[in-house]
Chains A and B, each alone.
Chain A
Amino acid sequence: MRALFLLLVAGYASGAAAALVLGTGALARWASALGAIAGASAGLALAAGACVWGAAFSLDAPDLLGVVGGMAFRLDALGAVFLALTSLVAAPSALYGAGYSRAWDGRPALRQVGFMLNAFLLTMSLVPLADGTLTFLLLWEGMSLSSYFLVMTDADKPEVVSAGQWYLAMTQMGFACLLGAFLLLQSGGPGSFADLRAAADALAPGTRDMVFALALIGFGSKAGLIPLHVWLPRAHPAAPSHVSALMSGAMIKMGIYGLLRVGLDLLGGGPAWWGGLVLALGAVSALLGVLYALMEHDLKSLLAYHSVENIGLITIGMGAGLLFASLEMPAAAALALVAALYHTVNHAVFKGLLFLGAGAVLHATGTRDMNRMGGLIRGMPWTAALFLVGSVAISGLPPLNGFVSEWLLFQSLLPGIGAPSPLVAVLMVLALGMLALTAGLCAACFVKAFGITFLAIPRSPEAEHAHEAAWSMRAGMVVLAGACVVLSVGAFKIVPRLTEVVAPLVGLPVPAPSFSVGWALQTPGGFARMSPTLVAAGLGLVVLAAWLAVKTFASRRPLRVGETWGCGRVVQTPRMEYTATAFAEPLRRIFAAFYRPSEDVSIDFHPDSRYFVQSISYHSAIVPWFERYLYAPVIARVRRWSERVLALQSGSAHAYLTYLVAALVLLLGWLVVTGQR
C-alpha cells in the first residue's frame, strides 16, 4: 500500500514537472497527461485496496513541514470511497485533456494548465487521506488555489477574470470558516484526527453546534449548497472543460466528504436539528438548482446548475442519515448514507462525462450557446451518443446508474414518516415531494440540453461544420460511459461495500445488515426490493424482441426519406425549429413567481406610418434571487468599508514610515508594560 501511495505522489509530481520542463508542444501535453493517469490509477488501486480488501494504510511524516508539526496520512473506508471517485474521474479527464489542450499549444498557458492540473489532482486525492488538522487544511487550500489558477487559464477574457474573483472570494470565505471550525474542535489540543475524535465528547454542546455550523458553511460553500453556490455557475463555464469535469465531478464532493468527516466521524453525530437543517438545505438546493438550470441556455452553466441540484440530492441523503442517526434509527440512517454515497460516485461519473461532452462541443463549434447549435449528431456521432448516455444517467432513468441512487434516496426517506416526531414526518413528506419534482424537471432539462444541441437542423454555420472530437477525448468519455453502465448493473455488489463503509459512522452492529439480496437491492424490513441488473437486462431483452418481431412480421417496404411534413409546409428552415428558450418557456411561465423575469419589448415603427412595424426587439433577463438580495447588498457594504479603509492609504511615503515607527513604539511599550508584571 505504501508503494501505491508513493506511486500516486510520484505520478502526479512527474506530470507536473513534465508540464513545466518539456516546453509547450504535444510532448508536454502527453507527458503530463500520462503522469496524471499513472497517479490516478495508483489512487484507484489504493482505494480498492482499502475498500475491497480492507488493507490498512497510514503514514506519519513528522519531518515533512516539521516546523508546523508535520503531516499525517491515513486511509479508511470513507476516505477510500472519495479517493476512488476522484481517481475514477481523473484518469479519463486527463486522457481527454491531452487532446483538448491542443488549443493552448505554443503558449505559456499550456505549462500552467499541465502543472496546475497535476497539482490540483495531487492535493485533491490526498484530502481524503489527511489525518490531522494541519494536513487537511494545507491540502484543502492547495486544492482551492490550484483550481483557481486552472479557472484563470483564459485570463484574457473579462468574464473569466470575474469568475475567478468570485471563486477565490468564496473559497477563502469557506476556508476561514473551516479554520474557525477546526480551531474550536481542537480547543488547544494536538491536531490528529484520532485525538479530535476522542476529545469531541468532552466539548460543550454549544461548541459542538458552533463547530458544526462553521463546518456546514465552509464545506457547504465548497460543495455548492444554496445559498453559497454562486461561484459554481461562474467558475465551471470559465474553466477548461476537463477541469470543469474534475471540479464538478470530484472537487465539490470534497465538501460532502468534509461534512461527513467532521459531522459524523469526528463529532460523532449530534442533535436532530443538524440533520433537519442539512436535509432542508439539500431539498432547497436540489429544487432551486434544477429550476435555474432550466432557464440556462449556456451548455456549461446548465451543467453547473445541475451540479448544484445533485449536491442537493446527496445532501438530502446525508441530512436524512444524520437525522435518523440522532433519532436512534441506525438501519434507516445507514440506508440514507449509502444512498448519498452512491449518488456521490454516480454523479462524479456522469457529470464528468457530460462536461467532457460539452467540452467536445465547445471545441468543435467554438460556442457554448445552445441556441447556436443543433444537428451535431451528424457531425459528432460519438460525442452525441456518449452525451445521450450521460443525459439518461443524470435524469435518473433506468437502466443506468442515476436511477439506482434515486431509488435508494426515495426509499431512504420513507422510514422517516414513522418517526415519533410529527415535525420529522412533515419534513420527510415535503422532501419526498421536492425530490420527485426535481427528478421530473431534471429529465425535462436534459431533453432540452440534448435535443436542442444535437438534434434537428444546425442553427448556425459553426454547428453545420462541426467535426468529431479527437480520439483521446472520445476515449475519456467512453471510459466514463462504461463506468455508468457498470455502476448500474453492478449495484448489488457495490451497495454491500458502501454499507460496510457507512456502518461504523452510524453505529450499526457488525456484521451490518446487507441491503442487497441475490441480484436485488433490499431496504430494511423488506419494505422494498428492486434489481437494477434485472431491470436493465429485461429492458434490453424486450427492446430487442420488439425490434426482431417488427423486422420479421412488419412490411418489408424500404424506408423513404423526405422533407419534414410539418403539417404540409414545403420547406423547413432552422428558423422554424424550437430554441432552448422556447422549450423552457412553459416552465418559465409556471414558475414566474419564483423567477421574476424582467421583460422588455421595444417596437420600431416605420417612420411613415404607425401601422407598419420595422422591427421588434424582446429582451428578458432573470437575476437569481440570492445575487440580488443576499450578495449584492453584502458586496456593496464591504465595498463601502474598503473605501473607508482606503483613507489609510494616502500614498505618502512619510505616512507609511510614521505608521511603522508608531507600531514599533507601541510594541516596545507593551513589552515594557507586560514585562514589569
Chain B
Amino acid sequence: MSPHLVSQLSVGGATLVLLAGLMMLWRRGVEAHIKAFTAQSVALAATTAMVGWFAGDWQLWAVAALLLLIKGIGIPILLQRMARRFGTERELEPYVNTATSLLVGGLLVLLAYVVTKPLVSVSQLPTRTGMPLAMGLVFVSLFVIISRKKALTQVLGFLMLENGIALLAVLGAHGIPIIVEIGVFLDVLLGFIVMQVFVYQIHETFESIDVEQLNRLRE
C-alpha cells in the first residue's frame, strides 16, 4: 500500500467520521443522531483497521474490533433503549439555529486546520493528512455539547468527542498502547452508564430531559 494511497484513505476516512459528526448539527431527531454516531464509529473502526494493515500492527486490528463491538453495536443498543423512553422529545430549538450551527461547524474545521498545521508539518507519517479533520471533530463535538439543550444529545456529543480523540491518536501516532486503549474504553463505558443514570434521574425530576430545567434547582 503506497503512502500516497494511505494518505488519501486517511483523509477519506477522517472526512466520513467528521461528516457523521456534522450530521449531529444538521438533523434534529434522536434516531438520526444515533444513526450518525453508529456510522461514525464504524468509519472510525474501518480507518483504524486500514492504518493497522498499513503499519502491520495487530494491536490496531484489536482496537478496531473493540471499537466496532462497543461503540458500533453495544452503545447504540443502549442509546436506542434510552431513545425509546425519551426520544419523543426532538431537539426543537437549540441555542443556535441549524444553518448557523453548520456554519460555525465549518469555521471550527478551519480553525482546526490552522491549529494542527505545526503538528502536520512535524510529523512524518503518511496518515498525518487526516489529523486536522480529527481535530475538527473534537471542536465540533464540544460545540454540540454546549449548544444543544437535550441531555441525550449532550451524551452523544461526549461520545463523539471520544471518537475524535481516538481518531487523532490513530492518525497522529498510529494508535496508543493496547493497555491504554482498553483502559480508555472501560472509562467511556463507565462514563456512559453514569450518564445514563443521570439522564433517568433528570427525567424523573423534571418530566423532561431539557438541561435548561436544571436551572430550577437553584430555587
Q: Are B99 and A422 in contact (CB under 8 A)?
A: no
**How far, in angstroms, from A593 to B103 measured CA to CA in the complex?**
13
Q: Are A426 and B110 in contact (CB under 8 A)?
A: yes
Question: Which chain A residue shows the least CB distance to B96?
Answer: A593
A668 within 8 Å of B (CB atoms): no
A636 within 8 Å of B (CB atoms): no
A430 within 8 Å of B (CB atoms): yes
Q: Are B117 and A593 in contact (CB under 8 A)?
A: no
B26 within 8 Å of A (CB atoms): no
B143 within 8 Å of A (CB atoms): no
> What class of interface size applies to chain A in its complex with B?
under 10
Which of B97, B100, B107, B113 meets A422, CB within 8 Å? Answer: B113
Tell me the interface secondary structure of chain A in the complex: helix
**How far, in angstroms, from A423 to B110 measured CA to CA in the complex?**
9
A590 within 8 Å of B (CB atoms): yes
State which residues 181-211 of B face A: CB under 8 Å: none
**How far, in angstroms, from A189 to B207 measured CA to CA in the complex?**
77
**How far, in angstroms, from A430 to B103 measured CA to CA in the complex?**
11
Q: Write out, one digit per residue, whether chain A residues 568-599 have a CB within 8 A of any chain B CB (1) or not (0).
A: 00000000000000000000001001000000
| A590: B residues at CB distance < 8 A | 99
| B107: A residues at CB distance < 8 A | 430
| A426: B residues at CB distance < 8 A | 110-111, 113-114
Q: Are B110 and A430 in contact (CB under 8 A)?
A: yes
Question: Which chain B residue shows the least CB distance to A424?
Answer: B114
Q: Write out, one digit per residue, whether chain A residues 397-439 have a CB within 8 A of any chain B CB (1) or not (0).
A: 0000000000000000000000000110010011000000000
Nearest-neighbour CB distance to chain B for A413, whole angstroms, equals 15
Q: How many A-B residue pairs have CB under 8 A?
A: 14
Q: Are B114 and A423 in contact (CB under 8 A)?
A: yes
Q: Write out, one digit per residue, whether chain B residues 76-102 have a CB within 8 A of any chain A CB (1) or not (0).
A: 000000000000000000000101100
| B111: A residues at CB distance < 8 A | 426
| B100: A residues at CB distance < 8 A | 593
Question: Which chain B residue shows the least CB distance to A423?
Answer: B114
**How far, in angstroms, from A157 to B178 measured CA to CA in the complex?**
80
**How far, in angstroms, from A429 to B103 measured CA to CA in the complex?**
13
| B99: A residues at CB distance < 8 A | 590
| A422: B residues at CB distance < 8 A | 113-114, 117
Tell me the interface secondary structure of chain B in the complex: helix
| B113: A residues at CB distance < 8 A | 422, 426
| A423: B residues at CB distance < 8 A | 114
Question: Which chain B residue shows the least CB distance to A420?
Answer: B117
Q: Are A429 and B97 in contact (CB under 8 A)?
A: no
| A430: B residues at CB distance < 8 A | 107, 110
| B114: A residues at CB distance < 8 A | 422-423, 426
Nearest-neighbour CB distance to chain B for A140, whole angstroms, equals 39
Nearest-neighbour CB distance to chain A for B3, whole angstroms, equals 23
Nearest-neighbour CB distance to chain B for A434, whole angstroms, equals 11
Nearest-neighbour CB distance to chain B for A382, whole angstroms, equals 43
Nearest-neighbour CB distance to chain A for B25, whole angstroms, equals 16
Q: Are B110 and A593 in contact (CB under 8 A)?
A: no
**How far, in angstroms, from A426 to B111 measured CA to CA in the complex?**
8
Nearest-neighbour CB distance to chain B for A368, whole angstroms, equals 33
Most buried by B among A422, A590, A593: A422
**How far, in angstroms, from A430 to B111 measured CA to CA in the complex?**
12
Question: Which chain A residue shows the least CB distance to B99?
Answer: A590
**How far, in angstroms, from A426 to B107 measured CA to CA in the complex?**
9
State which residues 115-131 of B face A: CB under 8 Å: 117
Most buried by A among B100, B107, B111, B113: B113
**How far, in angstroms, from A677 to B10 measured CA to CA in the complex?**
80
Nearest-neighbour CB distance to chain B for A272, whole angstroms, equals 15
Question: Which chain A residue shows the least CB distance to B103?
Answer: A433
Nearest-neighbour CB distance to chain B for A287, whole angstroms, equals 12
Nearest-neighbour CB distance to chain A for B129, whole angstroms, equals 14
**How far, in angstroms, from A414 to B176 measured CA to CA in the complex?**
39
**How far, in angstroms, from A429 to B97 measured CA to CA in the complex?**
23
**How far, in angstroms, from A590 to B107 measured CA to CA in the complex?**
19
Most buried by A among B99, B107, B114: B114
Q: Write out, one digit per residue, whether chain A residues 620-633 have a CB within 8 A of any chain B CB (1) or not (0).
A: 00000000000000
| B97: A residues at CB distance < 8 A | 593
| B117: A residues at CB distance < 8 A | 422
**How far, in angstroms, from A429 to B100 measured CA to CA in the complex?**
18
**How far, in angstroms, from A426 to B115 measured CA to CA in the complex?**
11
Nearest-neighbour CB distance to chain B for A589, whole angstroms, equals 11
**How far, in angstroms, from A590 to B99 measured CA to CA in the complex?**
9
| A429: B residues at CB distance < 8 A | 110
**How far, in angstroms, from A589 to B117 measured CA to CA in the complex?**
38
**How far, in angstroms, from A168 to B33 measured CA to CA in the complex?**
56
**How far, in angstroms, from A593 to B100 measured CA to CA in the complex?**
9
Question: Which chain A residue shows the least CB distance to B114?
Answer: A422
**How far, in angstroms, from A593 to B113 measured CA to CA in the complex?**
28
Nearest-neighbour CB distance to chain A for B159, whole angstroms, equals 29
Q: Write out, one digit per residue, whether chain A residues 530-551 have a CB within 8 A of any chain B CB (1) or not (0).
A: 0000000000000000000000
Most buried by A among B97, B100, B110: B110
Question: Which chain B residue shows the least CB distance to A427?
Answer: B110
Question: Which chain B residue shows the least CB distance to A590?
Answer: B99
Nearest-neighbour CB distance to chain B for A353, whole angstroms, equals 35
Nearest-neighbour CB distance to chain A for B115, whole angstroms, equals 9
| B110: A residues at CB distance < 8 A | 426, 429-430
Most buried by B among A426, A429, A430: A426
Nearest-neighbour CB distance to chain A for B141, whole angstroms, equals 21
**How far, in angstroms, from A423 to B113 measured CA to CA in the complex?**
9
Question: Which chain A residue shows the least CB distance to B116?
Answer: A422
**How far, in angstroms, from A533 to B25 measured CA to CA in the complex?**
46
Nearest-neighbour CB distance to chain A for B68, whole angstroms, equals 34
**How far, in angstroms, from A397 to B189 measured CA to CA in the complex?**
58
**How far, in angstroms, from A430 to B113 measured CA to CA in the complex?**
13
State which residues 331-372 of A face B: CB under 8 Å: none
**How far, in angstroms, from A429 to B113 measured CA to CA in the complex?**
12
Question: Which chain A residue shows the least CB distance to B107?
Answer: A430
Nearest-neighbour CB distance to chain A for B81, whole angstroms, equals 36
Nearest-neighbour CB distance to chain B for A25, whole angstroms, equals 59
**How far, in angstroms, from A426 to B117 measured CA to CA in the complex?**
12
- Given A426-B111, A429-B110, 11 extra CB contacts under 8 A: A422-B114, A422-B117, A423-B114, A426-B110, A426-B113, A426-B114, A430-B107, A430-B110, A590-B99, A593-B97, A593-B100
9 cross-chain pairs, A with B, having the tightest CB-CB distances, nearest first: A422-B117, A422-B114, A426-B110, A426-B114, A423-B114, A422-B113, A593-B100, A593-B97, A426-B113
Q: What would 12 A/B residue contacts be, using CB atoms closer than 8 Å?
A: A422-B114, A422-B117, A423-B114, A426-B110, A426-B111, A426-B114, A429-B110, A430-B107, A430-B110, A590-B99, A593-B97, A593-B100
